[in-house]
Amino acid sequence: MDVAIFSTKPYDRRLLDAANATAGHRLVYHEPRLAAETALLAQGAQAVCAFVNDELDQATLGTLARLGVRLVALRSAGFNHVDLAAARALGLTVARVPAYSPHAVAEHTMAMILALNRKIHKAYNRVREGNFALDGLLGFDLHGKAVGVVGTGQIGEVVCRILLGFGCRVLASDPYPSPAVRAMGVSYVESRALFEACDIVTLHCPLTPQTHHLVDSAMLAHLKRGMMLINTSRGAVIDTQAVLRGLKDGTIGALGLDVYEEEADLFFEDLSGAFIRDDLFARLLTFPNVLITGHQAFFTHEALSAIAEVTIGNISAFAERGRALHEVSVEKIAGRAAAG
Ligand code: NAD
């Protein structure tokens, strides 16, 4: 199959080429993001391969369908950036990588919690400048603290297991509680009760209309004062303006973000020679108790290899049988909601 692959970096190309060695698809790499303006680059391809900040809206999908594209293979688990109803109407199959390494994201989440708590980001700079004072580096024992996990799917489950290993009391919220997570000793509560009780809350739910701005001004009123908030799910699960207010008034004592509502204009690019036009993002960077990484939680060798292999597997299955291995559709999403 001819495949146009968007938003690619050298590391993507290396691993996709390796995964494709026996499959033999013709992969054409494009560095730009897939959007309505760049969709014409897919000319001649029967499949496109897209990443998290590509814009798979009606306009983009319409152009792809007119070009003869039949498969959209996502190199991600999340599919909030795809208009699934439009894809269905246009006869486009959408496939994703439902699980690649929940450990990658879970371990990055722990790195953020530990770094923020023990101020590793500050200590790193201090020691390099010969400043060995401990003032301002005081942390707390994670052992015995109440930690809330919002969303106990594949990633949230691993986070729960790691937190229990640290001796934390773990609370969770999820419309579909997991028996396996419950069996570990995690208690499920409503999300508001979780925010009221927890010293740390970490978000692992997908971005949906129900989770959009889950942490907003109204929820701020229910946070335990000085709590730590971690978001490695999707930027718009938190209302960043509201969270900024929470940081200013001390409601939020520490914030770890791997994702940001407007990250598409920033992340995955080297902008060190430019300046940041996003005032909200720039303001967040001024806080010593805010740690931001640029959507790198998934970025381990194991996860990238798995993404490449499952993506090529999806394309091969579609080429051979007209069905990808891991299809995502409006019907499937609705079916899951009904089943729950
Ligand atoms: P998953 O589908 O296995 O689990 C998501 C869980 O969230 C499910 O159990 C679901 O029932 C639950 N959920 C849905 N709505 C909820 C709500 N309103 N409140 C609480 N829970 C809710 O997905 P996963 O593989 O664990 O990934 C979770 C999310 O992490 C993805 O959707 C994606 O947005 C994000 N992610 C980020 C990175 C990164 O690099 N930062 C990498 C992979 C995934």
CA–CA dist 34, 39 (Å, integer): 6
Residues 256 and 324 in one domain: no
Residues 63 and 125 in one domain: no
- Which of 234, 261, 309, 326 is catalytic? The answer is 234
Determine the 3-state secondary structure of 324 from DSSP: coil
Residues 117 and 204 in one domain: yes
Best residue among 96, 105, 189, 198 to mutate for probing ligand 1's pocket (most ligand atoms within 8 Å of CB) is 105
Best residue among 109, 205, 210 to mutate for probing ligand 1's pocket (most ligand atoms within 8 Å of CB) is 205
Determine the 3-state secondary structure of 65 from DSSP: helix
Extract the tokens encoding 177: 């509680």
pLDDT > 60? residue 335 = no
Let me know: does 28 contact 47? Beta carbons within 8 Å: no
Residues 71 and 178 in one domain: no
* Local confidence band at 330 (pLDDT 50, 70, 90 cut-offs): confident
pLDDT tens-digit series, residues 53-64: 999 999 999 999
Extract the tokens encoding 272: 């060190």
Global model pTM greater than 0.85:
yes
- Known catalytic residue at 295: yes
Residues 286 and 174 in one domain: yes
What pLDDT shows up at residue 100?
85
Q: Which atom of ligand 1 is nearest to the CA of 299?
A: 40
Let me know: does 97 contact 76? Beta carbons within 8 Å: yes
CA dihedral angle for residue 178, residue 180, residue 184, residue 188, rounded to 10 degrees = 10
Query: What's the average model confidence in pLDDT over 318-337?
Result: 81
Query: What's the average model confidence in pLDDT over 230-234?
Result: 97
CA–CA dist 233, 109 (Å, integer): 10
Determine the 3-state secondary structure of 111 from DSSP: helix
Sign of CA dihedral 278, 279, 280, 285: positive
pLDDT tens-digit series, residues 110-169: 999 999 999 999 999 999 999 999 999 999 999 999 999 999 999 999 999 999 999 999
pLDDT > 70? residue 69 = yes
Element (H, E) at 10: helix 10-19
pLDDT tens-digit series, residues 303-317: 999 999 999 999 999
Residues 245 and 264 in one domain: yes
* Local confidence band at 338 (pLDDT 50, 70, 90 cut-offs): very low
- Known catalytic residue at 25: no
Residues 87 and 169 in one domain: no
Residues 110 and 187 in one domain: yes
Residues 276 and 321 in one domain: no
Q: How many CB atoms lie within 10 A of CB 69?
A: 24
* Local confidence band at 329 (pLDDT 50, 70, 90 cut-offs): confident
Q: Which atom of ligand 1 is nearest to the CA of 207?
A: 34
Q: Ligand 1: residues whose CB is within 6 Å?
A: 77-78, 102, 105, 150-156, 173-176, 191, 204-208, 210-211, 232-234, 258-259, 295, 297-298
Give the CA angle between residues 141, 147, 148 to the nearest 5°.
Answer: 165
pLDDT > 60? residue 339 = no
- If one counts the domains in the chain, the total is 2
Q: CATH no. for residue 115? A: 3.40.50.720
Residues 212 and 189 in one domain: yes
* Local confidence band at 99 (pLDDT 50, 70, 90 cut-offs): confident
Domain boundaries, position 25: 2-100+301-339
Residues 185 and 126 in one domain: yes
Residues 308 and 274 in one domain: no
pLDDT > 50? residue 340 = no
